[in-house]
Amino acid sequence: MYDEEQRPEQHGPLAGFTVGVTAARRADELGALLQRRGAAVLHAPALRIVQLADDSELLAATKQVIDEVPDVVVATTAIGFRGWIEAADGWGLGEDLLERLRGVEVLARGPKVKGAIRAAGLTEDWSPSSESMAEVLDRLLEEGVEDRRIAVQLHGEPLPGFVEALRAGGADVLGVPVYRWMPPEDIGPVDRLLDATVSRGLDALTFTSAPAAASLLSRAEERGLLPELLAALNHDVLPACVGPVTALPLQARGVDTVQPERFRLGPLVQLLCQELPARARTLPIAGHRVEIRGHAVLVDGALRPVPPAGMSLLRALSRRPGWVVARAELLRALPGAGRDEHAVETAMARLRTSLGAPKLIQTVVKRGYRLALDPAADAKYADV
């Protein structure tokens, strides 16, 4: 939130919006990018990464790669590939593993994986421009996989159809499980994020991995909140995914998402900088330009933080700009206000103070309140 009025040049494009972050990895980086552009950030990792350096399954797969050298190695994530090499070093097998990998075809899913491969002293043979496992699969099948031995570095989640398609083509596939996604040890932050989403306390919810999206949906289902979550994501809270693979669990539930053209955190944040201000309600009121955002209002470009109760009233008034909204209706818009219409008067007084322009909202004696919509705008909003 903000302590004082900020002039237009002092706030970023996401000022007044609250964005949820579900990432387990690089959450600090994403949060910093959002905050630098003015957003309030609510972070709750929807899962955690469990490294398998001491896991017998990873050790067995590593020994198998060393003893029965594959024709192709598919590296899917930078953290996973680095973790594999580090685990092998810990077992005293690092040099042997690298020696074997120098003689095989290495495919990297994307540029971050390429960086990890090169940091290990290796060179990738090919990487898709789309960072898509589907494109990797297409290349392998075009080359022909019959009787070829292919090691696939798994990345904590199933690869739908990938391994099955290779095996159907006659390949001998070895999965290398470097880490697993697990539910967070403390589920409290996730529950708070869910509550904020279904109550429309967020303006956008970001996802940087498919497992995080699946985990949040699963937790919502456990709590009986799945219908409310899906309704919020379909109508009021913008679901933003770093790429199409990340979006799959949401799309399977009928949720449309937005995604940047380049599957990176920076473009994801830039996309939010375009989408959220475009979704804000802008009205000409009492000679002022008023833009209603998530937890703040821009009045002639000046950022005005507004308490939650005041935002509830303002949204109720803005649904019918220029029309009188009865106190009883405004009372229903106030969360936890009960039946005391005095709560409306108190919240309205605070709202007017927050806006810094009391004439934006007119009191209509014995009837209620209305936004003082400029006369030229009356016709436009007459049928709202």
Asked if the model's pLDDT at residue 93 lies above 60, the reply is yes
Which residues, in sequence order, are CB contacts of 372 under 8 Å at separation 6+?
285, 286, 322, 359, 360, 361, 362
| Average of per-residue pLDDT across 77-100 | 92
* 161-197 per-position pLDDT tens digit: 788 899 999 999 999 988 777 888 899 999 999 999 9
Provide the 3-class DSSP secondary structure of residue 334.
coil
Provide the pLDDT for residue 293: 93
Closest CA to 72 of 162, 152, 138: 152
Q: Where are the domains of the chain?
A: 8-47+185-279, 50-182, 281-381
- Asked if residues 117 and 73 have their Cβ atoms less than 8 Å apart, the reply is no
244-251 vs 210-222: helix crossing angle, rounded to 10: 20
Grade residue 7 by pLDDT with cuts at 50, 70 and 90: very low
Select from 1.10.10.10, 3.40.309.10, 3.40.50.300, 3.40.190.290 the CATH code of 281-381. Answer: 1.10.10.10
Strand 288-292 with 296-299, pairing: antiparallel
Asked if the model's pLDDT at residue 124 lies above 70, the reply is yes
- Asked if residues 24 and 206 have their Cβ atoms less than 8 Å apart, the reply is no
Instruction: State the pTM of this model.
Output: 0.73
Q: Do domains 50-182 and 281-381 have the same CATH topology?
A: no
Fold annotation for 8-47+185-279: Rossmann fold (3.40.50)
Provide the pLDDT for residue 55: 80
Provide the pLDDT for residue 10: 65
Fold annotation for 50-182: Rossmann fold (3.40.50)
* 31-58 per-position pLDDT tens digit: 999 999 999 999 999 988 776 666 888 8
Provide the pLDDT for residue 380: 56
